[in-house]
Structure 1
Amino acid sequence: MIFLLLPLSVFIIHSILPTYYHKHFNSNAITDTQQQGILLTFDDGPDEIYTEKLLDLLNKHDIKAIFFVVAKNAKKYPHLIKRMMDEGHEIGLHSLEHKNACLHSYFYTKKDFQQSLDIMNQLNVTCHLYRPPWGHMNLFTYHFMKKHQLKLCLWNVMIQDWKNQSKSLLKERLIKQCHSNSIICLHDSSHDCGADYGAPLNTIGALELAIPQLKIKGLKFISLERSQ
């Protein structure tokens, strides 16, 4: 029995407790906008198929967002990173290759941050925000966040848009769940990060339907610098 309890205890200390603590008790983590407004955030990109379409939609509605990018994807599509910056969006870090921190060591975590930030520096991007894949952290994640002067940004609205669901269903979830200090976590990449193929097209379609209705409800779309 002790041979089972020991690895379980190590996993709880290494992965479960850090994730739980930083989600629920870290007062420095950004978990809502702290004022009246909706903040759109997108994880897992950039993606050659979907990100351009999403940027077109945001530009049409004059909405600024935060893109939490996977560094290896950013390296593949530097023109999309440049467009994000040129159009006034914030770029945050979402890991090197979208691996779950719960399953990795000090040395991989160190490499994850260092190589990611090296790539972003090569793209002339200074990241101030970090969002771990799936929101999972390990015992060393926060140490490297502080070392690289990154602030943890989580979310309080998620509509499971990584699944291939109808845009009308996703729209209804957005309308129902969004409130006056929402940080919405959506996704602009699919199969490379574990989502269903084509799912971001439904996300984009849902946003096209939901944005006017959310504005009618009196909800404003804001950027992070106006929300902090």
Structure 2
Amino acid sequence: MKRLLRRRKSLIIAFIAATASFLLGVTLPINLRANQPLEPIQAQALAVSQSQEQKPISNINQFKQAIAHRVELSQQALAQLQGIRFQSTVLSQFQGTTIREAKLDSQHKAIALTFDDGPWPTATTQILDILKENNIKATFFWVGRYLQTYPEIGKQVAAAGHAIGNHTWNHEYLKYSEEGAAREIDRTSSLIEELTGVQTSMFRPPGGILNNGLAAYAQKKNYAVVMWSADSFDWRTITESLTDNVMRQAKSGGIVLMHDGGGNRSRTVKALPDIIARLRNEGYIFVTVPELLQMQEQELKNQETAQK
């Protein structure tokens, strides 16, 4: 009996000793690891965490302000894009009509400079520079195949805020069926919108021809067929003063025909600063064709109000 008790006591002591040894083996490495320096990555993560916890609340406000600023810039960019997108659209009452000039009284001396047959290398960009220097917006009537060839120049014109019109795809003096006219006009307008976002409602027939099917189709599609009241005759090869040609025909509400494409337009580029200077000396302001028509409409409303 005593031998059995001694045996049980030995077993209990052995169990306690084994348990203590196990616990010591587990806890001691943990404590040692806790006292050892952190690995570089662990230390960096801990530092970032502590730093973030210590950042002042003002940083959150700065973050909110930055987001608000970006939203504001995005809204401004969208508004600018919308302005570019619709600046080549004439008022609905002028769509489907033929326009040679706006009806303005002599007290409102406004005139629209227009350029045909581009976009074109060198000449178009030179004209853009002159217009920018003089803070003038003009109206450009584009040939589709040239826009396809020089898309970046076309984008520059639209980005500068000038109005854009359709001048057919091929610029040919042919007799067109409705299907043929549709190809010439629709294809050009689609490319204009694709490249610049501009939705134009202005059309100018090549050579000013109104009876070959193009103008009829354009009017059916609610384009304003925009002609001109003052021809610079820069398309002629003979030597003459382009400035004198314009000044001789200039009048309030007038639309001036010039060319930036389709050939060598160095004469136009050379004459343009003088044309602008002399028109300004005569008291003219420069507007786009849509703006010119808006001025006519506003003047008509003012007259109706005055008569009441």
TM-score range, shorter chain: 0.7 to 0.9
| Matching residue's letter, 1:43 | D
| Matching residue's letter, 2:101 | D
| Matching residue's letter, 1:121 | E
Match of 1:112 in 2: 184
Q: Which of 273, 276, 279 matches 1:214?
A: 279
1:224 Cα deviation (Å)? 2.6
In terms of fraction of residues, the more helix-rich structure is 2
The TM-score, its normalising length taken from structure 2, stands at: 0.58
Larger Rg, first or second structure (1 or 2)? 2
Paired residues, what number?
A: 194
Q: Which of 235, 259, 262 matches 1:187?
A: 259
Residues 143, 169 of structure 2: 8 Å contact kept: yes
Match of 1:78 in 2: 151
Residues 162, 190 of structure 1: 8 Å contact kept: no
Match of 1:33 in 2: 102
Q: How does 1:61-140 map to 2 (within 5 A)?
A: 61-101=134-174, 103-123=175-195, 124-138=197-211, 140=213
Q: Cα 1:28–1:209, aligned 2, differ >3 Å: closer, same or farther?
A: same
1:201 and 2:266 correspond? yes
Q: Cα 1:27–1:90, aligned 2, differ >3 Å: closer, same or farther?
A: closer
Structure 2 residue ranges without an equivalent (≥5)? 1-94, 294-308
Q: How does 1:146-185 map to 2 (within 5 A)?
A: 146-166=219-239, 169-185=241-257
Deviations 1:47-97 (A, max 9, x none): 012100000001110111110000111111111221111111000000011
d(CA) in 2 for partners of 1:211, 1:121: 30
RMSD: 2.1
d(CA) in 2 for partners of 1:222, 1:216: 16
Q: Which aligned segments of 4 or more residues in structure 1 are displaced greater than 4 angstroms?
A: none
Q: Which has the higher contact order (CA 8 A, sep 6+)?
A: 1
Q: Cα 1:182–1:98, aligned 2, differ >3 Å: closer, same or farther?
A: same
d(CA) in 2 for partners of 1:87, 1:27: 27
d(CA) in 2 for partners of 1:224, 1:27: 15
